[in-house]
Structure 1
């Protein structure tokens, strides 16, 4: 790749390691590993060497680096408490089993695909399966010896794990109702598939500074959370009545949350892959590679601003100017697509809620059977750890809802089940400090008992570490796992609390000293929810109330 002539206004010091400025020497271990060998090449070694010779034969640079390019992470060894997460080396924390992330771009599954995932879970993953908040299904307890057989089974139905993790373009998210929603502005499915087929698994983008998250949607509820993706295409209609996309760049959470910025352009659907290619190339070429903590696209956007970013995109990568475009309309309520709703073809979709995305192989098989019996077999995963069965005749929706409820899958869930999210947590994750999935399920059950009549929308997101996989900064009640001191002066599992976060609004605010032990979590949430219910005005949201409430009422 040639060195670009860069305007002085955007030149960075050599220490950032930007390729476009001619600085190609790796500045940390991760960059050195990527330079030594493309992560995509590890697939062949897994098939030919590691699956035959076992876990102990795996090169550490592959095991803790390049395996991610194939959707594989070592999982946490059982029995290691959260206090040791930052104190032990990877080889001390990790078990000889893997978490495997199956890519489900756009959240779209047909009957044979869901059945294949169910069978793989049962045969190779001890029945485990979690629906993530980016469409994917994650399995656990996967042995390296079984990975080629799993890949073969996935390939039979058109699924894979390539670039589900790593410094690459991750699973492309889309509206679960793409192509069927009555009120969608545009069906982004063809554009999403076009990007996937052109670029996923390509060496052109297999060495990005860090992970890269894409969203495309014409959903009027903005269910793809464009505000926190690296690049997002959001459906709009321009002044001439043409349907296309506005482009947002540079969103992300973790320890430095930032909302994406609009480029102020109008993109015709047929241009989508070109714009995606250009923005992704900017990240590859100008992205910061010195510090992992600054290697996300949001930091480049923060330094450049959307005007400079658009200028570089148009002049250096596209070779043409984009027309100005409108901003999206405000989102309609219902980002999670739960419930029974009409499709534009006259059939209905049925969205339902597992317990914080936790399912299993047997249950996925049941869902596949129900989707075939009552619909066309098509199922969708959502960005809220939910599932949707499509194409159900209206007269069969109630019967389907009753069948789902018999498996603890609720079409009309309580507020707490509908709006609670949790990451993997200490059960399997090497980065986690606290339990999350079971903690969330226990919290949900107890709140349903204590507050059976509470009916206001309220998101409660639980994360086991600071990385915010469960989006704690944009939840009404965000719970970030950490060690806290209890009343006896002992360090115990607990959570830092943020309140009033809102996508497209503001990140949750932290009240000084506001933390809770895990043991005291339910009492705290009950207390603050009761205060909100007592003090809220008609139509006031939790975020609005939290912004005006006295600190004493938030504690």
Structure 2
């Protein structure tokens, strides 16, 4: 089968998927129409010259709900619209006149100067809102389009921006939060992240992909490499030395698919070239007919690793890749919480907020605390956490104590440490239920109810809450994944609740969580349910058995 030939089901012609490489250029859905009508990146000029002056009511519809995303802007949900109306109301009834804004922070790397600017934008323009996302962005709410030019000016003055933080483009690239300082790191991937950001983000040739494209590049496997569109993970070639194992096609949402290894080893200096080739492969061969099939994973699943590598080499690289060994697989999630020794003798200290929720006021105080501890470097993580680098031994405890009242714990409970949540119905137009506040309430509940298990559990049990099926909070790879939906309570009333997924994981436990048949939990009973299922795990587990191991083998009744 040649690279430009698709297998077709017997007996009927295959519908065009909108693959550019096959000459299928006609737009097949409304998103493809507006991208073809006017390039998404052109909206930046209109924001600066027209919309900021004219205000929300002057914004053209396909800019508002389409091209604005390429500038890191989504309309947020109008307050007071319940979850049952999420998929039924037209967009103009769901839209508020304010925006969610994502600041792009590739590699999660920040200076305290940058952190202060982020804090100031929050307090001045975003009603003190700020969330740390699981793609180590900072996410604001309540942004008025009139304020966007000044926000961009402040960000750009310190080397930050919102370019392509959303949209059908190359989103914020994940890196290791401890790149350059971790004692187990052999090769710092930061130069590759910086090169890609400088040369390719904002390139019009790469700004019309079938859908979003997520990147992870790091020596350590601490950035969920299995669920990104492309990941480069540290691997030592037996003859050529340190480099990176290439994995592509990962993603979750309604159809989880773990990235495939291509069996290729890539030296650091070639990472940007190979990354660019994969982006172009997706651009040209990706499916553009149906939005729910427009991710790279669908193409990779259909082609398989061997053919994907063949097309990549022959059509986009023009050379063979080097065969290489797989990257080591972590046994447990690497979240960097706590105090850890750096390779230079100083310490990095990882802190947990509650599900990433913080504020501009808190971030400004964090910058003060970090500098008082003798550091100027902060990292955000793919697990909604914050890490401070370069802390001398004598400054560690003062930093830990100062950060605690700001909402950041270096020695958190298991429940605070391993709970994640998406934006939820408070601001997201796709959400069906509340997540951030529910996560905060749940952590507080469990810290009281299950305090007696603090010394019994060897590892935290990850609880991820998502407001809709899209899995922004990675519910399918959590120990306990909770997908928001409207459910029927014992009185026959329609109320917010969650579908339960159990026993998912990454690394050595690479598996999609088990979905319990016909099992839903109403939001008000979530604490009861988790206390019940965790208690049963402790009672029934075998020696060295993790929660995931137990959840995958346990009788369904034990999991209800």
2:204 corresponding residue in structure 1: 203
Cα offset for 1:197? Answer: 1.1
Alignment partner of 2:499: what SS?
strand
1:58 corresponding residue in structure 2: 59
1:173-252 correspondence to structure 2 within 5 Å: 173-219=174-220, 222-240=221-239, 242-252=241-251
Alignment partner of 2:348: what SS?
strand
1:155 corresponding residue in structure 2: 156
Q: In 2, are the aligned partners of 1:375 and 1:389 still within 8 Å (CA)?
A: no
User: Take 1:394 and 1:190, find their aligned partners in 2: how far apart are those partners?
Assistant: 29
User: Take 2:500 and 2:431, find their aligned partners in 1: how far apart are those partners?
Assistant: 16
Residue 545 in structure 1 maps to residue 546 in structure 2: no
2:354 corresponding residue in structure 1: 355
User: Take 1:339 and 1:10, find their aligned partners in 2: how far apart are those partners?
Assistant: 51
User: Take 2:69 and 2:286, find their aligned partners in 1: how far apart are those partners?
Assistant: 20
Residue 507 in structure 1 maps to residue 504 in structure 2: no
2:136 corresponding residue in structure 1: 135
1:404 corresponding residue in structure 2: 403
Cα offset for 1:406? Answer: 2.8
Query: 1:43-101 CA deviation, whole Å, 9 max, x = no partner?
Result: 00000000001100000010000000000000001111000001101100110000000
Cα offset for 1:198? Answer: 1.3
TM-score, structure 1 normalization: 0.97
User: Take 1:216 and 1:315, find their aligned partners in 2: how far apart are those partners?
Assistant: 24
1:311-322 correspondence to structure 2 within 5 Å: 311-322=310-321
2:173 corresponding residue in structure 1: 172
Alignment partner of 2:171: what SS?
coil
In structure 2, runs of 5+ residues without a counterpart are none
Q: Out of 5, 13, 31, which is 1:8 matched to?
A: 5
User: Take 1:129 and 1:528, find their aligned partners in 2: how far apart are those partners?
Assistant: 33
User: Take 2:311 and 2:333, find their aligned partners in 1: how far apart are those partners?
Assistant: 36
2:307 corresponding residue in structure 1: 308
Q: In 2, are the aligned partners of 1:415 and 1:454 still within 8 Å (CA)?
A: no
Alignment partner of 1:163: what SS?
coil
1:429 corresponding residue in structure 2: 428
Q: Out of 527, 530, 533, which is 2:532 matched to?
A: 527
Q: In 2, are the aligned partners of 1:375 and 1:390 still within 8 Å (CA)?
A: no
Alignment partner of 1:16: what SS?
coil
In structure 1, runs of 5+ residues without a counterpart are none
Cα offset for 1:195? Answer: 1.1
Q: In 2, are the aligned partners of 1:231 and 1:251 still within 8 Å (CA)?
A: yes
User: Take 1:454 and 1:375, find their aligned partners in 2: how far apart are those partners?
Assistant: 36
TM-score, structure 2 normalization: 0.97
* RMSD of aligned alpha carbons: 1.2
Q: In 1, are the aligned partners of 2:115 and 2:367 still within 8 Å (CA)?
A: yes
Cα offset for 1:398? Answer: 1.1
Q: In 1, are the aligned partners of 2:468 and 2:485 still within 8 Å (CA)?
A: yes
User: Take 1:375 and 1:161, find their aligned partners in 2: how far apart are those partners?
Assistant: 29
Cα offset for 1:9? Answer: 5.0
User: Take 2:159 and 2:16, find their aligned partners in 1: how far apart are those partners?
Assistant: 42
Alignment partner of 2:74: what SS?
strand
When structure 1 is superposed on structure 2, of 52-61 and 13-22 the one drifting more is 13-22
Q: In 1, are the aligned partners of 2:333 and 2:506 still within 8 Å (CA)?
A: no
1:33-182 correspondence to structure 2 within 5 Å: 33-182=34-183
Q: Out of 454, 460, 474, which is 1:471 matched to?
A: 474
When structure 1 is superposed on structure 2, of 505-514 and 304-313 the one drifting more is 505-514
Query: 1:381-406 CA deviation, whole Å, 9 max, x = no partner?
Result: 00110001111001110111111123
Q: In 2, are the aligned partners of 1:102 and 1:164 still within 8 Å (CA)?
A: yes
Cα offset for 1:7? Answer: 4.2
1:459 corresponding residue in structure 2: 462
1:375 corresponding residue in structure 2: 374
User: Take 1:517 and 1:185, find their aligned partners in 2: how far apart are those partners?
Assistant: 47
Q: Out of 485, 495, 498, which is 1:495 matched to?
A: 498
1:389 corresponding residue in structure 2: 388
Cα offset for 1:241? Answer: 5.5
Cα offset for 1:334? Answer: 4.8
Q: In 2, are the aligned partners of 1:10 and 1:304 still within 8 Å (CA)?
A: no
User: Take 2:536 and 2:381, find their aligned partners in 1: how far apart are those partners?
Assistant: 31
